[in-house]
């Protein structure tokens, strides 16, 4: 790729695009809510939140100096991230902490990009993150899930017009913001009935001697604040 083409490509990525009409932004939010609220559909769409969840664990593990062994994504929407390093300490705490807030924080970052008009940057950035995640996935279903997700972003980025790109980007960000809220409530329900004894909240409790309910409350605060702030950005408030 010569310097001229590289410059053109960079200009395309960082360029700003016009926002869709407010009513279209609301429609994408309603569609995203419809993908999150019904239990039957959620059992399928939750896989996307699991990708963000396990990706959050993996990214923070690397940033905190741990060795990332691999990530597995399962058809029941569960996942597992394995890293090597000290069994306790700040690195392990941050790694365990990163999963539940990941989708919400990604949604918040995406809302900020969309509010600034950087639709193309969001689509390409998401594609890059999925490509990086694919390298660390260690099972067939996980690879299939990430490849299909990445392919959707690539196709929209290269083949769709600006209007379709905008609607797709807004729909994805709404889904991350809304879908990031539900897992913490699901975990709360499981723990109420004695389930999920090795959840992220329980691991954090063992690592920090802070009760799991406090960490669960932290997950709620992050997801709800991200939804509120990100929603305001998306709606131009």
User: Does 201 have pLDDT greater than 60?
Assistant: yes
Q: What is the mean pLDDT of residues 80-97?
A: 93
Q: b/e for 162-192, b at 16 or more Cβ within 10 A?
A: eeebbbbbbbbbbbbbbbbbbbbeebbeebe
| pLDDT score, position 192 | 87
Looking at residue 88, what is its pLDDT?
87
Asked if residue 17 lies in contact with residue 120, where contact means CB atoms within 8 angstroms, the answer is: yes
Contact 106, 76 (CB under 8 A): no
- At 4, the pLDDT band (50, 70, 90 cuts) reads low
pLDDT at 1 exceeding the cut of 60: no
CA-angle at 170, arms to 220 and 179, nearest 5°: 25
58: left (phi over 0), alpha (psi -120 to 50) or beta: alpha
In this predicted structure, what is the pLDDT of residue 119? Answer: 92
Q: By C-alpha distance, which of 169, 163, 79 is closest to 127?
A: 169
Provide DSSP, 187-205.
HHHHHHTT--TTSHHHHHH
Q: Does the pLDDT value for residue 32 go beyond 60? A: yes
Percent of the chain with pLDDT over 70: 94
CA distance 66 to 194: 31
pLDDT at 183: 96
Whether the CB-CB separation of 222 and 230 falls below 8 Å is answered with: no
Joined tokens for residue 208: 């920090």
pTM of the model: 0.92
Rounded-to-integer distance, Cα 30 and Cα 33, Å = 5
The per-residue pLDDT of the chain, averaged, comes to: 92
Angstrom CA distances, 226 to 109, 178, 216, stand at: 9, 9, 16
**Adjacent-strand bridge partners of 81:** 71
pLDDT category, 230, cuts 50, 70, 90?
very high
Over residues 131-154, the mean pLDDT reads 95
Distance CA 179, CA 51 (A): 12
Encode pLDDT of 7-21 as tens digits.
655 556 666 777 788
Pairwise CA distance, residues 222 & 7, whole Å: 38
């Amino acid at each position: 790729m010569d310097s001229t083409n590289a410059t053109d490509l960079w200009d395309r990525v960082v360029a700003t695009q016009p926002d869709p009409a407010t009513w279209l932004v609301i429609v994408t939010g309603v569609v995203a809510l419809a993908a999150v609220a019904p239990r039957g559909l959620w059992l399928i769409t939750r896989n996307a939140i699991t990708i963000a969840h396990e990706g959050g664990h993996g990214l923070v593990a690397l940033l905190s100096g741990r060795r990332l062994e691999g990530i597995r994504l399962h058809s029941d929407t569960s996942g597992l991230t394995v890293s090597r390093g000290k069994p306790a300490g700040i690195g392990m705490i941050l790694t365990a902490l990163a999963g539940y807030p990941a989708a919400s924080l990604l949604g918040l970052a995406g809302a900020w990009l969309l509010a600034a008009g950087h639709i193309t940057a969001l689509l390409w950035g998401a594609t890059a993150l999925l490509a990086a995640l694919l390298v660390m996935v260690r099972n067939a279903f996980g690879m299939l899930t990430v490849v299909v997700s990445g392919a959707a972003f690539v196709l929209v980025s290269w083949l769709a017009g600006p209007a379709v790109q905008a609607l797709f980007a807004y729909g994805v960000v709404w889904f991350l913001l809304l879908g990031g809220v539900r897992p913490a409530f699901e975990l709360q329900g499981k723990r109420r009935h004695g389930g999920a004894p090795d959840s992220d909240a329980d691991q954090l409790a063992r690592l920090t001697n802070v009760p799991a309910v406090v960490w669960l409350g932290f997950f709620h605060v992050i997801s709800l604040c991200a939804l509120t702030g990100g929603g305001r950005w998306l709606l131009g408030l």
